Structure 1
């Protein structure tokens, strides 16, 4: 059955000066697709694919557009205005998305963007946003594997590091001492599962684990040394930030890779930098 907050393929019933009416079943009845939203080619009895939501008077209405976020998902949306009922966010539809005051954790400012969860409010049937994203995260045990690549969305900070939404479902932590670039709320990035604890907590990393990663880093270092004529003024004593800026990796990973290259007698390591060994 068609429902608010979903896409549906509906039959065109009739035309009126302000648009065409679609058959949305017994629950929603006839739903208007406004004339400004109508497809170029249509006919009575034809089918259109639409998204269903409520207009400013809480009447079901259809649109051909796709919202930036579907109900049940998390997103990073810009606040457009503040009214007596809350903030309104840009989610790509003619009617802006309401973030009620009761669902705000801090003062919302127009022009700034915020991580929110979007859902259909049970009592009102309206699609709304909330800043209280944690209560919509999956609390069931995760079945991620250590080393698994996952999609992350950053949504906050803790004393330990950065909180991230994993695959739009669970939450995890990127530890601050393993992050060597600036992160911001709402940023989407690739990450990796480090550990899933028995109590459900999940440790994350921005970097792939294991020997394969070190092998790739060894190759990268050798190639860079060749480009630089055999010497690179970077070493184990270099600041972690400098190493990350140069290679995009942690100091620990850098030391593992240079140590492996040293054991293979491919480089020498000095206080002033690393050198290729001439064959």
Structure 2
């Protein structure tokens, strides 16, 4: 005798028609009764004895419910699912293509909520049952992809690349790129730990012999120099056209104030000097067009 569980796709028979929809049963289990609401039955009107392919799920009362809307994710099929709700202490819910969204348990999410997905992020999941036969969505692991990665070529070195994060931790994050490559982002190549399910854009800093990639989410030096220079210029504009920092300033103070290394600070100052936007003094830097600049 077959056990019918949430997450199953099966064929049932209309046992009787009721005001709100249909009661379904199985040919091998006449005692089984599964409710299917009229709005879950599709466009066709059913009559007693009709066979119908349905997806089963539990409602809030743990009653088994049927729908003719079939999910694009099953216990045997992985696919991307959009995060629709975040519940601290419980997990996140994802849309698998049916009206009933499915929980990804906090046990299968990163320890720190800062790395949890947010609404609109996408998780690559399949379905599973816990020990109480509760239906859950189960995120992909690297073992599930073993041998299925596309192999990157050397021509990708230093190219822009984007993808979706599916594992994130202190050491780094693993990405499925939009071309099906495995990308690894070391913690030193990012400014913050990315969320799982987050879409990230970076660049290839190494193509490894096994065909996987090392990625960086940090801007190229030239791009970073322009961003940092603008940050310093805006700081001085907001502080009477000056800042009490120079190339001799303590690196930790520069990092705390501008979130940049001393080397990055020097490069940014060099660009501002080259563009003739600042004047260096012994204990400060001023904007060339500010009231503080020499006449």
Name the TM-score, length of structure 2 as normaliser. Answer: 0.52
Alpha carbons of 1:222 and 1:242: their partners in 2 closer, same or farther (altered >3 Å)?
closer
Alignment of 1:80-229 (within 5 A): 90-92=93-95, 94=100, 96-97=102-103, 117-119=124-126, 129-130=137-138, 133-137=141-145, 139-142=149-152, 144=156, 146-153=158-165, 155-157=167-169, 161-167=171-177, 169-181=180-192, 183=193, 185-186=195-196, 188=198, 190-199=200-209, 200-209=211-220, 211-229=222-240
Deviations 1:67-93 (A, max 9, x none): 9xx942377776987xxxxxx963355
Q: Is the 8 A contact 1:71 1:119 kept in 2?
A: yes
User: How many aligned positions are there?
Assistant: 229
Larger Rg belongs to:
2
Q: Gaps spanning 5+ residues in structure 1: where?
A: 6-12, 22-31, 46-51, 82-87, 122-126
1:62 aligned onto 2:68: yes
Q: What secondary structure, in the 3-state scheme, does the structure 2 residue paired with 1:194 have?
A: strand
Distance 1:244 1:154 in 2: 31
Q: RMSD of the alignment, in Å? A: 5.2
- How far off its partner does 1:231 sit? 1.2
Name the TM-score, length of structure 1 as normaliser. Answer: 0.54
Q: Gaps spanning 5+ residues in structure 2: where?
A: 1-6, 8-13, 24-33, 47-53, 129-134
Distance 1:241 1:116 in 2: 39
- How far off its partner does 1:192 sit? 0.6
